[in-house]
Amino acid sequence: MCGSSQPSAPAQSAPTQTTVTNTNLPEYARPYVEDVLGKGQALTNINSNPYQQYQGNRVAGFQPMQQQAFSDVQNMQVSPQTGQATNLAGTAGLGSLLTGQNYQNQATNPNAMASYMSPYMQNAIDVQKNQAILDYQRQMPAQQAQATAQGAFGGSRQAVVQGMGQEALQRQLAQIQGAGTQQAYQNAQNALQFGTTAGLQGYGQALQGATTLGQLGQNQFGQQMGINAAQQQAGAQQQALAQQGLTNQYQEFLNQQNYPYKQLGFMSDLIRGSQLSGGQGASSIYQAPPNAMGQVAGLGLGVGSLLSGLGRVSGGT
């Protein structure tokens, strides 16, 4: 079986709205409006009125005082006092260590201590020894006379007495030599310690001088940085003043460029504000969409008119 299809109803169209604007411009205002429009067209024509680029400077460069400060900062180096202080401190520290080590080595070395002894030390000891020998020799006649009086001269008793005297003399001579040597050694120790102490004091003063030089170098560096900062601050103020002048010049250029447009806008505002358009109004026309029967009827009328026309054309031939 063949199915039959029913024709579908056409979709319902939405109503349409048409706005009609009527403008009635008074004849006396027409020249002004046309003048405004003409000027507007001339101003916006890039061929006759191309873009004008600002030729002046807009950014103020660094001032000479700033450039001088930059150059000083770039060329700044460690102050010479700092380098001198470093060398002097290093010398003082190393010298102090070597002095202490040298004192320890020499104080425990007899041969090194001998170099600090007086070369005239033995002469002084020999003088004391000779004096002791002379004193002994002066006592010998008295001893012999005493031995003779006692009947012991030339005997064993005299020999014993002489031996005891010789032994006492040797002890005295040894004591003189030992005491002189000990005194010389003590003097040598004192000389070594004095030299060491003086050396350490000298290195201590050198270290103190290095500290002073370092402080002077730091003060010089701080003063130089303060001068640079003052130059930069003063130069920044000069640059700000120069920038203000450039900004004002650029703003004046913009004002000159915008002046015709402001004038044109003012004239346009006068036209709109005075309501020269007069009878300007707007109306809306609503048209309902045709229904299905109307569309069919219209279609039938159109077809009928077409057939009628064709009939007239055929009848006429």
Q: Is the pLDDT of residue 234 over 80?
A: yes
Q: What is the pTM of this model?
A: 0.45
What is the Cα–Cα distance from 163 to 46, expressed in whole angstroms? 144
DSSP designation for 53: -
Q: Is the pLDDT of residue 55 over 80?
A: yes
pLDDT at 304: 41
pLDDT at 248: 95
DSSP designation for 27: T
**What is the bridge-based pairing of β-strands 281-287 and 16-22?**
antiparallel
Q: What angle do CA 105, 107, 113 make, to 5 degrees?
A: 105
311 vs 224 pLDDT, higher one: 224
pLDDT at 239: 94
DSSP designation for 281: E
As a three-state string, the secondary structure of 104-146 is HHHHCCHHHHHCCCCCCHHHHHHHHHHHHHHHHHHHHHHHHHH
6 vs 274 pLDDT, higher one: 274
Distances in Å between the Cα of 237 and the Cα atoms of 113, 155, 229 are 74, 122, 12
Pick the range with the lowest mean pLDDT from 52-56, 110-114, 175-179.
110-114
Distances in Å between the Cα of 62 and the Cα atoms of 58, 114, 243 are 13, 75, 10
Contacts of 153 (CB under 8 A, 6+ apart): 144, 147
Pick the range with the lowest mean pLDDT from 35-39, 181-185, 229-233.
181-185
Nearest alpha carbon to residue 176 among 111, 131, 117, 113? 131
- pLDDT tens digits for 251-300? 999 999 999 899 888 888 888 776 554 444 444 444 444 444 444 444 34
Tell me what the mean pLDDT of segment 3-12 comes to.
50
What is the Cα–Cα distance from 278 to 127, expressed in whole angstroms? 149
pLDDT at 274: 64
307 vs 84 pLDDT, higher one: 84
Nearest alpha carbon to residue 121 among 165, 187, 77? 187
- Report H helices in the chain: 30-43, 64-75, 80-107, 110-114, 121-149, 156-273, 292-316
What is the Cα–Cα distance from 150 to 147, expressed in whole angstroms? 5
| pLDDT above 90 as % of the chain | 15
pLDDT at 305: 43
Pick the range with the lowest mean pLDDT from 95-99, 161-165, 258-262, 289-293.
289-293
| pLDDT above 70 as % of the chain | 69
Q: How many CB atoms lie within 10 A of CB 85?
A: 22
Contacts of 204 (CB under 8 A, 6+ apart): 92, 96
140 vs 293 pLDDT, higher one: 140
Tell me what the mean pLDDT of segment 154-165 comes to.
66
Quick one: pLDDT band at residue 249, thresholds 50, 70, 90? very high
